[in-house]
Structures are given as C-alpha cells and as structure tokens.
Amino acid sequence: MQNRQIVLSNRPDGIPGPEHFSAKTTELDLTLAEGQIAVKNIYLSIDPAMRGWVSLEPNYLPPVQIDEVMRSICVGEIVDSKHPDYAKGDTVYGIFGWQEYCVCEPNPMVRKINPELAPISSALGALGPNGLTAYLVLNELGKIEAGETVLISTAAGGVGSIAGQIAKIKGCKVIGLTGSDDKVEMCVNEFGYDHALNYKTTENLEKAIAELAPEGINVFFDNTSGAIADAVYPNLAMNARALQVGTAAVESWEPETPLGPRRDRHILTKRLTVMGFVLIDHTAKAPAALQQLAQWYTQGELKYRENITEGLENAPQALADLYKGANTGKQLIKV
C-alpha cells in the first residue's frame, strides 16, 4: 500500500520551514515481522525541539538525515500487530514520524493511550510531553514551593500554559511573558496567571517585571533564552532557580554563538542554580507525573488549548509558524 511521508530535503541554517522538507509517497509492505507493530498516525506533534533534531549541532538525539522521514511524536491506531503487548485497535503514542503509517518495533517510549480518559490528542500535549515537561521542570528541578514567585516565558504556549496552571495549583505567584495582547489576556483569564506581559510591546521589560515582582523571581521557567531572558536575570531573587527548557528566541547558534549580557555576576552573588532540562532524561518519573496531570484534568483544574491543522502536507508550514509565535496552545497536525 502507499504511504505518504514528509522527509527532510535540505538542512536548515536556523529555523526550519517548508523549503527544507518535501513530500513523497513510498510503497509500504504491511507484512509484519515478529515483534513489530503497524501504526496509522492520527495526530502529529509540531514541537520547538524539532529545530534541534534537524541540526547537525550536538543535541540529545542524532540529527534527522537528509531524505529521512521527519522525526515526530504521534498518536495513532494500531492497524496490525505481531507484538504481544499491542493489539489491533489500540491507541498508541510514540515517535512514528511525519507519515501516514509507521511499521516498527515499539521502543520503550511507546505507550498505550486510554481514549476514555481525555481526547487522544492530549497525549501529545497537556497529558503528554508538554504537561510532563511543565510538571517535571517545576517540581524536580525548580522545586517550587507555595508562596514563591514563578516566571514563565512562552506563557501561553503548549508547555508554558500548563506550567502556569501547575504553579498556581501549587500556591505560587505566577507571572507570564508572551508575545501578543490576546495571549496576555488568555494567560490571565484562561490559565490563571496572576500577571502577564507582552514582551513585544512592553517598553522596559526588566523594569516591568521588577514592578510586578519587587520580591524577586524564585523560579524562572525559560523557554526562550535571548533578550527575553536578559530582562529576567536581573530580577532573580537570592537562591533562584533558572531552568533552561528551550531557546526559542535565539534564531541560530551557528556559525557564531550569539552574544548576550554575561550572567556570571548574578549567578555568583545571588547563588543561582541554572539547569538544563531535556524530557528524555526523566522517563522514570513520567508515569507518576502523568497520573497527577490526568487527575488535575479530570477534576477540571487543568485546561489546555490545541491548534489542530488538517493535512500531513501542512506540517512544515506549521513548524515554521511555531517559531513565529503564531500558535496558541499545542500545535498538532491531523493526518
């Protein structure tokens, strides 16, 4: 049978977009070997991390090769199985790529989704990697405590919006930075942030944060790096934790590393702890975290937004739009 795919056709120097991918149709043999499953993808995830996956720079996964199907986490339905743990009709989550069908041996990351708990698409966002990232960064690395002040960049995004809600559930004061007035409104009215700022239109962001948090920021959930983070560092409190979860505001790290204000004096005199977070390091903590997230969701304490674009062929454009901040909530492709 035929399998439509999106492959990496040339390597971007910076932000990936439609010009770096091409569509192709290949012949797929659905005759499975022992231990394999065949998945029909239903939703594909569009993620900020994809820029790193298509880059040759050292990263936490090997780079996607030219002519290789673009790496992507997906939710799909098992259409055939020769694996004892999976049956036809199961809904599954895994790295199945930007394609209609995936035949593979399920790696440890593949897991079954309960379609009765929540919409299955949420397994790619709020009840999946985004929720896990938000939860684990705040609890395992940030060790947030009630009464602390937490600042979150990309505050209305797939990860940020969940992080904001978790910090509120935990009793923190929560400030969001986001890129439009609509998103500022969404942060405060939908996700429960105490305050939110439009970093694009706020004249002096550093001063505006200082006015909202004269007590200082205890935990900085940094999805952006760049000038946005530069406005936060002077506002960090003693013993603050700054957690590097993404670097969405820096267009390119090659060939020259971009310059920014040195942070060493803040790190030293305020005894900061700055840490990098990559979700794949924390798989052991995922089941308990997912259970907590699902509980909050079913109790109505956790809201999420999805932006679902129809059509596999639109994945590259959706990825480019992600870096422009065009999306609100988690960006998905419905195959």
Size of site (CB under 8 A) for a second copy: 37
On whether the CB atoms of residues 136 and 167 are closer than 8 A, the answer is no
Q: What residues contact residue 166 under an 8 Å CB cut-off, 6+ apart?
A: 134, 135, 138, 139, 296, 302
**Among 107, 269, 284, 300, contact with a second copy (rule: CB under 8 A):** 269
Least spacing, CB of residue 147 vs a second copy, in Å: 21
Judged by CB under 8 A, which stretch of 7-15, 185-193, 205-213, 220-228 contacts a second copy?
220-228
Strands of 138-257, DSSP E = 149-153, 173-178, 195-198, 217-222, 236-244
On whether the CB atoms of residues 148 and 218 are closer than 8 A, the answer is yes
Q: Is residue 246 part of the contact set for a second copy (CB under 8 A)?
A: yes
Q: Is residue 229 part of the contact set for a second copy (CB under 8 A)?
A: yes
Beta strands 173-178; 91-95: pairing state = unpaired
Q: Is residue 264 part of the contact set for a second copy (CB under 8 A)?
A: yes
Interhelix angle for 129-136 vs 158-169, to 10°? 50
Judged by CB under 8 A, which stretch of 63-71, 78-86, 168-176, 270-278 contacts a second copy?
270-278
**Among 15, 28, 237, 275, contact with a second copy (rule: CB under 8 A):** 275
Least spacing, CB of residue 265 vs a second copy, in Å: 5
Amino acid at 39: V
Amino acid at 150: V
Nearer to a second copy, 79 or 278 (CB): 278
**Among 15, 23, 95, 250, contact with a second copy (rule: CB under 8 A):** 250
**Among 270, 330, 332, 333, contact with a second copy (rule: CB under 8 A):** 270
On whether the CB atoms of residues 134 and 154 are closer than 8 A, the answer is no
CA nearest neighbour of 44 among 88, 94, 8: 94
Q: Where on the chain is the footprint of a second copy (CB under 8 A)? A: 52, 57-60, 222, 225-226, 229, 244-247, 250, 253, 257-265, 267-278, 281
